[in-house]
Amino acid sequence: MLKTQGHNSPLDASLADAYGRAIRYVRLSVTDRCNLRCLYCQSPAKYEYIPHPSILTYEEMLRLAGIFYGLGVRKLRLSGGEPLVRKGCADFLVSLRERFADLDIRMTSNGTLIGPIIPVLARIRVGCVNISLDTFSPDVFAEITGRNMLACVLDNVNALRMSGIPIKLNAVALRGITDRELPAFIAFAKEKEIDVRFIEFMPMGKGTLWSRERFLPVSELRQAAEECVRLRPIESRSPTDGPARMYAIAGSRGRLGFISAVTDHFCSTCNRLRITSDGALRLCLFDDREYALRPLLRNRRVTGESIARCIRALCQRKVIGNEVLLARRKTAVAEKRMSGIGGWLW
Ligand code: SAM
């Protein structure tokens, strides 16, 4: 268990929580809307979208990004929902780059709408685009996402690669799907020379189709992969490298990553915060408490410095997510579905 270190002084430039975890990374949900209906993310029940006036404007998001930048955050990932369903997302990316020359700007996308903005992504020197893709079968893709768009995603992945944009492929580990298609994922990593990462299906969002039967521990996937190819573990360079345990595939530049979000947590190195599309600060994925920053951003009398102080103070409430998850195992799943929070790790 991590030990708390008490409140950090308001004079400290960078952001840290009560456990001494430095916060360097913010995930910003640009919208809660999505053009896919992934079974692990969305509930089949009707979801009430956040009304437009409650969604942060791009100008508000830029201001917030500046406040976080001032607090030492140097990595910003746009997520959602699907960030690219929101009109003006490409212009927003350009504005971010214009204001923050050295910010590591990244994006997580389902890859369906990304084709037309590839030149923009190249121009702003996007740090990496993570594409979520759970299958190579058109039928299974349609079953998982509710849309028949696999070919479009694969075309866009190729176009991203051709443009020299760093990409990673992320798949939620689903029993009966990922295990069956593991050879195809390995072949893809080898052929495209990219990172393919598997994340455990997390019990997020009421009414989604999480079940023990669908759950597939990534340790099982890794063992199965080792029967197909020789894997060499890659030491992470720093504790903030990211949560995936990465393995080089012998004879290829492609790599496989395994993210044991459920079976073996990595909360001790968590360096991230989340901002929901309606402007709430979420300190931990598994902690349902959210802190509304939007009223502060919309109040002309509240300065950026005051908001920064507020964020710094709230960070002291960041919990060890695994402890929340363990307590929850006895009850149900987290309140909020993933698309409202902006995804988990990627
Ligand atoms: N629309 C974008 C996309 O598809 O990548 C960004 C948002 S999506 C919520 C972000 C990531 O969260 C996706 O990679 C998705 O696979 C993952 N995700 C959603 N629900 C999940 C769950 N219950 N367990 C694990 N990963 C999940």
pLDDT in tens, 229-239: 999 999 876 65
Least trusted range by pLDDT, from 102-116, 146-160, 255-269, 318-332: 318-332
What is the C-alpha R_g of the chain? Answer: 19
Distance from residue 302's CA to the centre of ligand 1 (Å):
34
Residue 314 predicted with pLDDT over 70: yes
Q: pTM of the full predicted structure?
A: 0.90
Residue 183 predicted with pLDDT over 90: yes
pLDDT at residue number 338: 61
**Count of structural domains within the chain:** 1
| Ligand 1 atom showing the smallest separation from residue 80 Cα | 7
Ligand 1, from 285, 338, 346: best to mutate by most atoms within 8 Å of Cβ? Answer: 338
Is 220 inside a domain boundary? yes
pLDDT at residue number 5: 45
Is 117 inside a domain boundary? yes
Is 45 inside a domain boundary? yes
Give the CATH number of the domain where residue 203 resides.
3.20.20.70
Is 19 inside a domain boundary? no
3 state SS of 198 = strand
Distance from residue 299's CA to the centre of ligand 1 (Å):
33
Least trusted range by pLDDT, from 95-104, 269-278, 302-311: 269-278
pLDDT in tens, 16-54: 999 999 999 999 999 999 999 998 887 666 678 999 999
* Rounded Cα distance, 325 and 344, in Å: 14
Determine the average pLDDT of the residues in 107-117: 98
What domain range is 295 assigned to? 25-341
Is there a contact between 12 and 62 (Cβ–Cβ < 8 Å)?
Answer: no
Is 157 inside a domain boundary? yes
Residue 10 predicted with pLDDT over 60: no
* Rounded Cα distance, 200 and 300, in Å: 43
Is 201 inside a domain boundary? yes
Ligand 1, from 29, 41, 197: best to mutate by most atoms within 8 Å of Cβ? Answer: 41
Distance from residue 344's CA to the centre of ligand 1 (Å):
6
Is 10 inside a domain boundary? no
Distance from residue 341's CA to the centre of ligand 1 (Å):
10
pLDDT at residue number 322: 76
Least trusted range by pLDDT, from 136-145, 227-236, 336-345: 336-345
Least trusted range by pLDDT, from 86-100, 294-308, 328-342: 328-342
Buried b (16+ CB within 10 A) or exposed e, 63-76: bbbbbbbebebebb
**Is the minimum distance from the CB of 149 to ligand 1 under 6 angstroms?**
no
pLDDT at residue number 8: 41
Q: Assign 261 a pLDDT band (cuts: 50, 70, 90).
A: confident
Is 118 inside a domain boundary? yes
**Is the minimum distance from the CB of 29 to ligand 1 under 6 angstroms?**
no
For the chain, the average pLDDT equals 89
List of residues 6+ apart from 146 with CB closer than 8 A: 36, 37, 38
Distance from residue 336's CA to the centre of ligand 1 (Å):
13
Determine the average pLDDT of the residues in 169-189: 97
* Rounded Cα distance, 197 and 216, in Å: 14
Ligand 1, from 132, 170, 209: best to mutate by most atoms within 8 Å of Cβ? Answer: 132
Ligand 1, from 37, 39, 108: best to mutate by most atoms within 8 Å of Cβ? Answer: 108
